[in-house]
Amino acid sequence: MKVAVIGGGAAGFFAAISSKQHHPEAEVILFEKGYKLLSKVKVSGGGRCNVTHACFDGNQLTKHYPRGEKFLKKAFGQFSTTDTVEWFETRGVELKTEEDGRMFPITDHSQTIINCLTDKASQLGVRLELQNAVLYIDRIENGFNLSLKDETHFFVNKIIVATGGSPKLEGFEWLRELGHKIEPPVPSLFTFNMPEEKIKELMGVVVENATIKVQGTKLKQSGPLLITHWGMSGPAILKTSAWGARILSDLNYNFKIQVNWLGEAKENDVRSLIQEQQANHHKRMVVNRNPFGLPARLWEFLLQKNELRDNITWGEIGQKGINKLVNTLLNDVYEVKGKTTFKEEFVTCGGIALSEVSNSTMESKIVPGLYFAGEVMDIDGITGGFNFQSAWTTGFIAGKLLNGSSI
Ligand SMILES: Cc1cc2nc3c(=O)[nH]c(=O)nc-3n(C[C@H](O)[C@H](O)[C@H](O)COP(=O)(O)OP(=O)(O)OC[C@H]3O[C@@H](n4cnc5c(N)ncnc54)[C@H](O)[C@@H]3O)c2cc1C
């Protein structure tokens, strides 16, 4: 059996290694269009490679995927985070968990992961074809004819497509021509630009738990929020961008958000805290006594936004002032105009429609013998190691080349 794995990223390597492990007799050739292998692994996690996330319950794990949640449920039953940790450990790479659940190699170096994958592939006899893109796939009897960039053709019995995301629909044309439906690609994981908002002056300020709502939609996410010199970032914003990738693209990245600076706090909670200040601290200046635990620079900014003068006391604030303050704390509106990529880290929402892929084998339901792995499918996760986890899982399963057809 000849197997072509197309794409030398995380999913492609895992698929090639898994093919050789499950079918030692097979000839496995990995085609990579670039001259470097595993280039995203190299730069990932700030050069440390956030391999996976310490979430060991399959059902919980799927909740971190805006696209692919249902599809991955079954797949994680075959290869999950526990398997990833074990897989690397038994090949000499120990992983550690950071406070927020992200898992990295203990060396803090992505090269450790690259060395592990390339060494294993070489030991098993995976053949690597660098700088040789697969341009076209023809279905022929018992297999496929690949047209390669170097103008040669190559016959294989099975193909695993692991070519990653593509920002443009044209990038999927060769797969669409095989009969596959493509969910149009749009970016996910980006930060919000607010060119006209003064809040940018507070760059560097972090709020531990804010809730973001996108006006006119059902999008709502909570988490830490970071003010940057071009707008807002941090987990609350990145999660909103991931879950709302398609909606925000339709809005052409021009929309308004409502920020609840106090996370999930409700009006009654805020009013009773204010009453307490008025009863017990009526002579203290509002600017100096901030009962909500917000960063001082933000508290000052929100008071100025409501034209509450610098030296006003809790006793002097008045009903009108209280109402304005409550509204700003819970429903502060900002205009978003455009987006910026988060630390160059992004994933594509969209790709091969999951309805046409088996979630127990990764085989195409349209073209028998053709398999998919990784981000080329309409699967993407939020930040934290979830994107690599789906690449390992789907690569491992695709490499098993089940289904028994024409082996
Ligand atoms: C800067 C950055 C940092 C990231 N950090 C993290 C992180 O820390 N943790 C995390 O979970 N996720 C992270 N991600 C997301 C993660 O890198 C991707 O989700 C993951 O790499 C997808 O793996 P893949 O193998 O499916 O695709 P890719 O890694 O994109 O690999 C696809 C490969 O296929 C090749 N290819 C494409 N077309 C062809 C063709 N026709 N013929 C031959 N070869 C072809 C490409 O050149 C590429 O090498 C990060 C992404 C970026 C951009």
Residues in the chain with pLDDT values less than 70: 344-345, 402-407
Calculate how far, in angstroms, residue 34's C-alpha sits from the geometric centre of ligand 1.
Answer: 12
- Protein residue whose Cα sits closest to atom 2 of ligand 1: 345
> pTM of the predicted model, to two decimals?
0.94
In ligand 1, the atom with minimum distance to the C-alpha of 376 is 26
| Residue 285: DSSP 8-state | B
Residue 375 near residue 351, CB atoms below 8 Å: yes
Question: Which helix (H) or strand (E) segment is 220 a member of?
Answer: strand 220-227
Calculate how far, in angstroms, residue 40's C-alpha sits from the geometric centre of ligand 1.
Answer: 5
The domains located in the chain, with CATH, are 2-186+349-399 (3.50.50.60), 187-263+334-341 (2.40.30), 273-330 (1.10.8)
Question: Which helix (H) or strand (E) segment is 209 a member of?
Answer: strand 206-214
The C-alpha atoms of residue 10 and residue 40 are separated, in whole angstroms, by 8
How many Cα neighbours within 13 Å face the side chain of 85? 15
Q: Identify the three-state secondary structure at position 283.
A: coil
Cα 156 from chain centroid?
Answer: 33
In ligand 1, the atom with minimum distance to the C-alpha of 38 is 49
Residues with CB under 6 A from ligand 1: 6-12, 31-34, 39-40, 43-45, 49-50, 133-134, 162-164, 344-347, 374-376, 385-388, 391
Give the residue from 103, 83, 81, 106 showing the smallest Cα distance to 93.
Answer: 106
In ligand 1, the atom with minimum distance to the C-alpha of 171 is 38
How many C-beta neighbours within 10 Å does residue 217 have? Answer: 15
Pairing between strand 2-6 and 27-31?
A: parallel
| pLDDT for 405 | 44
| pLDDT for 406 | 37
User: What is the torsion angle, in degrees rounded to the nearest 10, for the CA atoms of residue 79, residue 162, residue 382 and residue 216?
Assistant: -130
The C-alpha atoms of residue 329 and residue 286 are separated, in whole angstroms, by 14
